Structure 1
Amino acid sequence: MMNGAERGPLWGREGELLLDLVYVFALTRFSQRLIEDFTLDRRILLPEVSQTALLLLALWLVWVRTAWVTSRHDAGRPAVQLVTVWVMFGSMIMAVTLPHAFGARGLTFAVTYVVIQFGRSLLLLLFAPSREQHSPVRSLCWAAASAVPWIAGAALFPQSPERGWLWALALAIDYTGLLLGWPIPGLGRSRIAEWRIAGEHLAERYQQFIIITIGETILLTGLTFANRFEPDQVVPTTVSFATAVLMWRIYFHRAGTLLPAAIEVAPRPARRGQSEIYTHLVMVTGILTTGVGHALVIDNPTGHEDPRWLGVILGGPALFLAGRARLEYDVFARVSPSRVTGILVLAAVVPVMIQLPSRIAASTATVVLAGITIWDAIREWKHPHEKPSPPD
């Protein structure tokens, strides 16, 4: 196994860059589905949004487990490169079926997800040295357990809410296995916190996913603007682009930039890296929902739309700030008051924004993020050499 220092700039990582491009497509399909949840004549909004959230959890788990494979094993090994290609193709199929995963294409989505999880573990089992084979065996057993509700939900309950309950159970199995190290009687569990990984590489993978998520919001902004390309869309489009830039700046300000160093120098890099699975999932969700909120405003810049839109227009930035606060705590063992203040301000303005056009709410959220960016700049000027907290 190679450590971070032994990797070249693109050693074995060309496939990872291609995988990220596939995920730009997948996240765009996710955003399109979420937009439909808020614009089409849905039965009840909450179940529809919950279904879309389940799909994001599935996509994230596929990506993050692949990132751990390429950080734990030599990225130049044919087996690891084959795993990346396997996941890449499967992710593309999942993205194609995603908007209709709770409809006619549900079985294809479920089977593809299961095949990805099985294939990844099976390839590692076939090509891994004997001393490393226990971990793929454990994950294969857990994948078999979650495959039952995945396939049953798609095959037995076409276009039915019951599918969501079974898929939620399947994801609970998958995430529990990841959290606990896939314990199996007789084999024990794989203690992820003790894994030897290239910590810097894993942190960079998290950074890259944040970048492609922000990039997806810019893509969504451009596509929405291009659909009509009218003068009244110029201001909300500019606000949306500014929001994407501000989220990029807030993420990478210190904690995001120093994350590779924080993970790499820890005595147990995998332990720190494992916590970032959930921290970055929260930020990714916040960024995506923020982009959807702005797309809704761009598409209807002068209207006074459903107040439930505030859930993404203001809730998205709040969710991003919550995840970013956790990241800051992971790196520095403290949380900047600006993150908490931003969340409180976004929550406080909700009652007022219900009575105002959606574009005002979107602009307000952007102003809050701009204020946090200025706060960060002042703090950096006063404390220019802050370092990560002592490792765990």
Structure 2
Amino acid sequence: MPMPASDAGVLRDPTSPQHVTFLELFFDLVFVFALDRVSQGLIDDLDWLDLLQATVLLPAIWWIWMMTVWMTDRLDPERASTQLTVIGIMLGSLMLASAVPDAFGHRGWFFAGTYVAVQLGRSLYLVVVLRRHELRRRSMRTLFWFAVSAVPWLLGAASSERLRLALWALAITMEYVAARLDFPTPRAGRSPISEWGLAAAHMSERYRQVVIVALGGTIIVAGTTFGASDFGLHSVAALVVSFAVTGLLWRIYIYRAGELMCEALARSANPAHLGRSTAYTHLLIAAAAITVSVADRLVIAQPLARPNAAWTAAIMAGPVLFLLGRARLEYTVFSRVSYSRRIGLAVLVAIAPAMIAVPPLAVAAAMVAILLGVAAGDVAGWRRNPSIPTPPRAAAG
């Protein structure tokens, strides 16, 4: 894509190292807090309504992170205006995250208004700063769709709790579907994802970092919950088991597929398309980490509580979501899904009925055993049949 001389200082220099900057690491700090707020809402009152609300709030928070990552992937992060914009988005995200616990209560206007302001503000900045570049058209289409979705966001803020959930679900669905369809805009056409481009090394590193951020949230919850316990034998055992789950999730994620993601993006015929697909994969992994945080709180606070079907589902859901996300990532990198992933998921489904009859600590210990088996299977499978990254010709998403 041609780049006018006047835009030379706006976009990243494709010949320079595509490393993650300190600004981006600083930006991620607020999302440790944001993900913790979502998990806290589930911990405080674990029911189906709270779960549905979390399925709206998490994609909204993720969308802010993802759109900002794509912005810093193309724009020069050392440019003062870009840095100020990212810091402004960070402040807005902090304010939004603070409202998460009461987003469906009396903080609805604050949450929706901040979300709309962040998304429109970033898009408007891109329209202005790219005024002499072809990418400006994509930013204008993005601005259009965030303006359209602002209507149900703001209407939802003025509605009852149930109607708010429906309107906000409509708003976030509109945004994701519009992105999937390349932001079709009246009289302006579409913005093929391929025209945005992608720095493979930068994007893969950002995805790995957000996994660390998400898993870091589980560590915070585990440590905080244990700190409030009696430090008895069962509490110590629960902490060890909870930490083992997080450690195994990290190991399973990074082993080969997470490690070789950069090479897969670089090898892809359409790296931007594959990068977008990978973004949705990591949303699923972030959801898994939030669920694990909820499980950690339950297991450490009451390791020997009477069996409870809802608690059992919460403890098992994290590993299930994670293995599904990891399977999708593996397909993105290698165009296949290993047997260890399939067997692990099958075993989780098979033992679910039996887990309803045992206390939380026993359920969590079973998760450790299954994840340990998956991790060992990954190592054994790789030693038998090492593979090079072979991304699919057309990544879903």
Q: Which range is displaced more, 263-272 or 239-248? A: 263-272
1:179 aligns with 2:180: yes
Structure 1 counterpart of 2:29 = 21
Q: Secondary structure at the match of 2:127?
A: helix
Structure 1 counterpart of 2:5 = none
Q: 1:197 to 1:9 in 2, by over 3 A?
A: closer
**What is the rounded CA distance, in whole Å, between the counterparts of 1:255 and 1:194 in structure 2?**
26
Shift of 1:222: 0.3
Shift of 1:208: 0.6
Q: 2:59 aligns with which of 57, 60, 76?
A: 57
**How do residues 12-91 of structure 1 correspond to structure 2 at under 5 angstroms?**
13-38=21-46, 45-91=47-93
Q: 1:390 to 1:119 in 2, by over 3 A?
A: closer
Structure 2 counterpart of 1:42 = none
Structure 2 counterpart of 1:168 = 169
Percent of counterpart pairs with the same letter? Answer: 41
1:138 aligns with 2:148: no
**What is the rounded CA distance, in whole Å, between the counterparts of 1:82 and 1:149 in structure 2?**
29
- Contact 1:265 1:391 (8 Å CA) reproduced: no
Q: Secondary structure at the match of 2:70?
A: helix
Shift of 1:302: 1.6
1:299 aligns with 2:309: no
Shift of 1:81: 1.9
Q: Deviations over 1:125-164 (max 9, x none)?
A: 111142322112111111111111111111233xx21110
What residue identity is the alignment partner of 1:208?
Q
Shift of 1:223: 0.5
Q: 1:156 to 1:391 in 2, by over 3 A?
A: closer
**What is the rounded CA distance, in whole Å, between the counterparts of 2:171 and 2:13 in structure 1?**
34
Shift of 1:286: 1.2
Shift of 1:390: 5.4
Q: Secondary structure at the match of 2:220?
A: helix
**What is the rounded CA distance, in whole Å, between the counterparts of 1:228 and 1:360 in structure 2?**
18
Structure 2 counterpart of 1:208 = 209
Shift of 1:3: 5.7
Shift of 1:287: 1.9
Shift of 1:305: 4.4
- Contact 2:331 2:391 (8 Å CA) reproduced: no
1:369 aligns with 2:343: no
- Contact 2:221 2:296 (8 Å CA) reproduced: no
What residue identity is the alignment partner of 2:325?
G
Shift of 1:351: 0.8
Structure 2 counterpart of 1:331 = 333
- Contact 1:287 1:316 (8 Å CA) reproduced: yes
Shift of 1:4: 6.2
- Contact 2:222 2:296 (8 Å CA) reproduced: yes
Q: 1:345 aligns with which of 344, 347, 352?
A: 347
- 4+ residue runs over 6 A deviation: none
Structure 2 counterpart of 1:96 = 98
Q: Which range is displaced more, 111-120 or 45-54? A: 45-54
Q: Which range is displaced more, 240-249 or 169-178? A: 169-178
What residue identity is the alignment partner of 2:209?
Q
Q: 1:259 aligns with which of 258, 261, 266?
A: 261
Q: 2:319 aligns with which of 317, 320, 332?
A: 317
What residue identity is the alignment partner of 2:114?
T
**What is the root-mean-square deviation in Å for CA atoms of aligned residues?**
1.5
Q: 1:296 to 1:133 in 2, by over 3 A?
A: same
**What is the rounded CA distance, in whole Å, between the counterparts of 1:321 and 1:180 in structure 2?**
27
**What is the rounded CA distance, in whole Å, between the counterparts of 2:68 and 2:279 in structure 1?**
12
**What is the rounded CA distance, in whole Å, between the counterparts of 1:375 and 1:178 in structure 2?**
36
- Contact 2:218 2:293 (8 Å CA) reproduced: yes
**What is the rounded CA distance, in whole Å, between the counterparts of 1:270 and 1:199 in structure 2?**
9
**What is the rounded CA distance, in whole Å, between the counterparts of 1:4 and 1:332 in structure 2?**
26
Q: Which range is displaced more, 246-255 or 182-191? A: 182-191
TM-score normalised per structure 2: 0.92
Shift of 1:37: 2.5
Shift of 1:314: 0.8
Q: 1:84 to 1:54 in 2, by over 3 A?
A: same
- Contact 2:307 2:356 (8 Å CA) reproduced: no
**What is the rounded CA distance, in whole Å, between the counterparts of 1:202 and 1:8 in structure 2?**
9
**What is the rounded CA distance, in whole Å, between the counterparts of 2:193 and 2:85 in structure 1?**
20
What residue identity is the alignment partner of 1:116?
V
